[in-house]
Amino acid sequence: SQKIEQNSEALNIQEGKTATLTCNYTNYSPAYLQWYRQDPGRGPVFLLLIRENEKEKRKERLKVTFDTTLKQSLFHITASQPADSATYLCALAGANNLFFGTGTRLTVIP
């Protein structure tokens, strides 16, 4: 079965720096990958989708890359702000489902 790993449970960075989160997967070849943000006590909120034929996708301060050879996606937040503190989830598309990673909890320190 497919396995999805997000690089670490928690990541602390200084305000203004670039946060980089990693999503690795095995036993699977998804055509698309999505990233979600989840705040404590709330449901996940969709951020970005990237297709297998797209190397990079940007949205404001967010950038996602997708390397199907390495089976890895990188999620970057540039010029990070304390308001970016949250848990970020990657999700890979299956036939009828999205398979989610366990998430990385990002804390941006002022």
Partner 1 sequence: DAGITQSPRHKVTETGTPVTLRCHQTENHRYMYWYRQDPGHGLRLIHYSYGVKDTDKGEVSDGYSVSRSKTEDFLLTLESATSSQTSVYFCATRQGREVNTGELFFGEGSRLTVL
CB of 91 to partner 1, least distance (A): 8
CB of 14 to partner 1, least distance (A): 27
Nearer to partner 1 by C-beta: 11 or 98?
98
C-alpha distances in angstroms, 11 versus 16, 50, 55, 109?
15, 23, 24, 10
Interface residue list for partner 1 (CB under 8 A): 4, 30-32, 34, 36, 41-46, 49, 51, 89, 91, 93-98, 100-103
Nearer to partner 1 by C-beta: 38 or 72?
38
Tally of CB atoms within 10 A around 91: 21
Nearer to partner 1 by C-beta: 13 or 48?
48
b/e 29-43 (16+ beta carbons within 10 angstroms → b): ebeebbbbbbeeeee
